[in-house]
Amino acid sequence: LGAMRLNPLFGEKFVWETIRYFVEERGLRGIKLVSRADFYNPSNLKVMGPVLEAAGQYDITIVFHSGHPSRDIPSLQAYGARHYPNTRVVLAHMGLHDFVSDAIIACKELPNVFADMSQAWPYDIKAFVAKVGSEKLMYGSDAPCQSPLVEKTKVEECGFNDTQLEQIFYKNAQRIWGFDKK
């Protein structure tokens, strides 16, 4: 399943037209956002509102790069998710090590916010599952920047049971990204 890369600063009309095209014509199932690269604040609902609304309407997932100040912080990314509860939001990298607590709070408080563990440390992965649960965490490889085998091994080394591993490696992604949808 593919995801489009989108800059919401191009305006509401651009956002809706782009999402419509890539969902209806190309079959993409998500949107990747990197606020620090595109110079916007993800908690600015004037900028993010059209993206969050369109994603909810088209039933697609938004994945935020998270973990780099000053814009790619889970608490700022979760702000929009709080206002658009029908839109699924994934915090890639679990906020990295510096903002894993932010990711934990966001995922624990908001039913529509999830995380992937790519680039996270095993200690943080274990802490996340202990505090939030394995049903909110997905495997992420961050390939080609990271090694899929190394990222997989991090999860396997955490000592999770088979049910937790199945959730992290498959079931959660199936549910959040809609693998079973056409």
Residue pair 137/169 in contact by the 8 Å Cβ criterion = no
pLDDT of res. 10: 97
**Widest Cα–Cα separation across the chain:** 47
pLDDT digits (tens, 9 = 90+) for 117-165: 999 999 999 999 999 999 999 999 998 899 999 999 999 999 999 999 9
pTM: 0.95
Amino acid at 39: F
pLDDT digits (tens, 9 = 90+) for 100-112: 999 999 999 999 9
Alpha-carbon distance of 83 to 69, in angstroms, equals 22
Lowest-pLDDT range, 67-71, 90-94, 102-106?
67-71
pLDDT digits (tens, 9 = 90+) for 19-38: 999 999 999 999 999 999 99
Q: How many CA atoms lie within 13 A of 30 on its CB side?
A: 20
DSSP 51-90: HHHHHHHHT-EEEEE-SBTTTB-HHHHHHHHHH-TTSEEE
How far is Cα of residue 166 from the mean position of the Cα atoms in its chain?
A: 19
Element (H, E) at 3: strand 3-5
